[in-house]
Chains A and B, each alone.
Chain A
Amino acid sequence: MRANLITGVMATLTALPFAVKAEVMADHAMHDVDGFGPVYHMIRLEADTGAGPHGAVSSWDLDGWIGGDTHKLWLKSEGTQGKSKLEDAEAWMMYSRNVATFWDAQVGLRHDEPDSATYAVLGVNGLAPYYFETEAHLFVSDKGKVSARLREENDLLLTQKLILKPYAELNVQAQPDRARHTGAGLTDGKVGLQTRYEFTRAFAPYVDIHYGRKFGETSSMAQSQGDDVTETIGTVGLRLMF
Chain B
Amino acid sequence: MKSLATLTALTALAVCAPVWAATVTYDLTIARQPVTITGKPLSKVTVNGTLPAPVLRFKQGDDAIIHVTNAMDEDTSVHWHGLLVPGLMDGAPGHNGFAGIKPAASFTYRFPLRQTGTYWYHSHSLGQEQEGLYGALIVDPAGKDPIRSDRDYVVLLSDFSEETSPEIMANLKKDSDYYATARRTVGDFIHDVREMGWSKAWKNAQDWGHMRMAQTDLADVTGYTFLVNGKSPTQNWTGLFKPGEKVRLRFINASAMSFFDVRIPGLKMRVVQADGQNVEPVAVDEFRFAPAETYDVIVEPTGERAYTIAAEPIDRTGFALATLAPKEGMRGEIPAQRPRALLKMGDMGMSDMGDMVMTPEDMKSGWAKAGTPEGAKALSYADLRYAGIQPDTRQPDRTIDVTLGGNMERYIWTLNGKSMAEAEPIRLKYGERVRLTFTNDTMMAHPMHLHGMFVELENGQPMEKLPNKHTVIIQPGKTYSVLLTANEPGEWSFHCHLLYHMMSGMMTKVVVAKLDAADAPVDAHGSPQPASNGGHAHAR
Contact = CB atoms under 8 A, between A and B. Distances in A.
Interface of A: 31, 35, 37-38, 40-42, 69, 98, 101-102, 127, 129-131, 156-160, 201, 241
Given A69-B419, A129-B209, A102 B126 contact: no
Interface stretch (B385-393, B404-412, B527-535): B404-412
B185 A158 contact: yes
B178 A131 contact: no
A160 B185 contact: yes
Interface stretch (B78-86, B168-176, B228-236): B168-176
Interface in B164-184: 166, 169-171, 173-175, 177-178, 181-184
A186 to B, nearest CB: 28
Contacts of A98: 410
17 contacts: A35-B421, A40-B169, A40-B170, A40-B173, A41-B174, A69-B419, A69-B505, A98-B410, A102-B409, A127-B409, A129-B211, A131-B209, A131-B212, A157-B184, A159-B185, A160-B183, A241-B174
Interface residue SS majority, chain A? mixed
A242 to B, nearest CB: 8
Given A101-B407, A201-B175, A156 B181 contact: no
B186 interface: yes
Nearest to B412: A69
Contacts of A157: 183-186
Across the A-B interface, give the 4 residue pairs with the lowest CB-CB distance, nearest first: A130-B209, A40-B173, A42-B174, A157-B185
A160 B182 contact: yes
B174 A101 contact: no
B194 interface: no
A69 B503 CA distance: 12
Contacts of B39: none
Contacts of A41: 170, 174
A174 to B, nearest CB: 32
Interface string B504-520: 11000000000000000
Contacts of B170: 40-41
B126 A156 contact: no
A117 B395 CA distance: 71
Contacts of B419: 37, 69
Contacts of B410: 69, 98, 101
Contacts of B329: none
A31 B127 CA distance: 12
Most buried by A among B181, B184, B407: B407
B144 interface: no
